[in-house]
Amino acid sequence: MIELIDVSYDVTEDNSDISILRDINIKIDERFVAITGPNGGGKSTLARLIAGIIKPTKGKILLDGKDITDMSITDRAKLGITYAFQQPVRFKGITVSDLIRLASGKDISVSDACVYLSEVGLCARDYINREVNASLSGGELKRIEIAMALARSTKLTVFDEPEAGIDLWSFQNLIQVFEKMHEKIQGSIIIISHQERILDIADRIIVIADGKVTAEGDKDSILPEMLNATGDCRFIRDPECARV
């Protein structure tokens, strides 16, 4: 279980403090939680705080009751936190199979590594020996990163917009990958997403806007309210909407 207690995050720019996140209180022990909200609301910042890439200005972060607020990224990873970036990193000189093997933490066979690649819709044969460099497309890189998170299969996995840059066809398969993870996972998955189909399969949705948690609950309570807030009649079930 991951818990954020009164977490705030400020940055200093031109001698003035900018508040990015304010007094966040979140406790996650469900298997699948989606975080959503408008651009610039603070979702990726929250993911970076959980992964330990940045440290809160105020407040505490607990993993299974243990205070990890001051722990490094590496120590958090050892405790079982995996973070899949919104924009994945490229590694020159390292092949896709190296990455999957490193992620799994075991000396897995090429065919095992291939299973993970196939799960994210990549033809394993074409990718397994490719170098993780600039020649891979954004969508390919993103899928390799998801395959790595599957291979790691830790207590807590945070995906930051896994759908970003992924084409519609692959996106359908991605939903199935997450549904399968949902069934199999021992720990929790947090997915930051703008996609209704991902929000649909979450046990709980947390909305972050303007640096605060503005709503949380199950999809039946959150989705209609959120879609209504867009004011877009395509999303609003009330037939009167289009007539106004």
Question: Which residues of this chain interact with ligand ATP, rule CB under 6 A?
Answer: 11, 13, 18, 20, 39-45, 86
Bridge partners of residue 215, in order along the sequence: 207
Residue 220 touches which of Mg ion, ligand ATP, none (CB < 5 to 8 A by kind)?
none
28/96 with CB nearer Mg ion: 28
Quick check: 208 and 37 in contact, CB under 8 A?
yes
Contact flag: residue 44 with Mg ion (CB under 5 A): yes
Rounded to the nearest whole angstrom, what is the least distance from the CB of residue 142 to ligand ATP in the complex? 14
Residue whose entry in the numeric block shows the structure tokens 């977490």: 7
44/82 with CB nearer Mg ion: 44
Residue 40 touches which of Mg ion, ligand ATP, none (CB < 5 to 8 A by kind)?
ligand ATP
* Residue number closest to Mg ion, CB atom: 44
Rounded to the nearest whole angstrom, what is the least distance from the CB of residue 133 to ligand ATP in the complex? 25
DSSP per position, 116-153: HHHHTT--HHHHTT-EESTTS-HHHHHHHHHHHHHHH-
**Stretch 75-104: interaction string toward Mg ion, x if CB under 5 A:** -----------x------------------
Q: Give the number of other Cβ atoms within 10 Å of residue 232's Cβ.
A: 10
Residue 162 touches which of Mg ion, ligand ATP, none (CB < 5 to 8 A by kind)?
none
Residue 59 touches which of Mg ion, ligand ATP, none (CB < 5 to 8 A by kind)?
none
150/208 with CB nearer ligand ATP: 208
In what side-by-side order are the strands of the sheet with 58-63?
16-28, 2-13, 58-63, 66-67
Buried b (16+ CB within 10 A) or exposed e, 98-107: bbbbebbeee
Residue 27 structure tokens: 């406790």
Residues that bind Mg ion (CB under 5 A): 44, 86
